[in-house]
Amino acid sequence: MTLSHDDVSAGAKLETISRPIPSIAASLSLLLLACLLTPGVQAGEHLSSSIASANFHPATTPAESALHSIIILAEQEDGLFEFAIKAPWRDRKLDRRFSRFFSSSLQDSWAETEKKEVQKNCEGVYRNGEICGLDINPVTCSQDINNGQYEYKTEKAMSDFALISYKWPQFPEILATYKMIREGNRWRLDGVSCNPQPTFNMK
């Protein structure tokens, strides 16, 4: 699946940073080595060591290409973050446009997690100047972007399901594992497991 110019704004301003935020995964490599020796990856799990970074490549399969398009959209469109967390101030006219890329179950999971974070951090009410909800992009699992340069590895695939990990080429850490589902001719994002956390609809 590819996005049209209407879906991905070519003029969006991108920032280049030195490293993705969730770099804590590197310190967990030895602890997770035993998990890496277990064949197969289940939904809700992600591989977290440099050993697991082998065989990553630019998006190739239809499911990987669909995921890549979604990640590019997420890094270029601020409105997508607001849509994902169901921000009260979001432009609701964009809801229909963005919703076609995600399952309703994932959208519900994002909204529920954001609600819990706002309740925990700000007593259920957004406050000016404070981070009350999620502090990472729930699609990319990072506070940063890498100018569209990402690599993917399909951990498990069936005709209507794919479990895909992604990373930045310049670093070994896996940032997230995604659950993609196919509905008709379209691949949708159905679950996200950020490394090391949080996790959205990955049961």
pLDDT, one tens digit per residue, over 9-36 is 333 333 333 445 444 343 333 333 333 3
Instruction: Indicate the domain borders of the chain.
Output: 41-200
pTM reported for the whole predicted model: 0.74
The residues with which 183 forms a beta bridge, in sequence order, are 186
Q: pLDDT averaged over the chain?
A: 81
Phi-psi category of 50—alpha, beta or left, where left has phi over 0 and alpha has psi -120 to 50? alpha
Residue labelled with tokens 């799990």: 45
For 167-200, write each residue's pLDDT tens digit. Answer: 999 999 999 999 999 999 999 999 999 999 999 9
> What's the pLDDT at 129?
87
Contact 43, 163 (CB under 8 A): yes
Is residue 64 scored above 90 in pLDDT?
yes
Q: What is the DSSP letter of 117?
A: H
69: closest CA among 57, 58, 54? 58
DSSP secondary structure letters along 169-180: TT---EEEEEEE
Residue 203 pLDDT grade (very low, low, confident, very high; cuts 50, 70, 90): confident
> What's the pLDDT at 142?
93
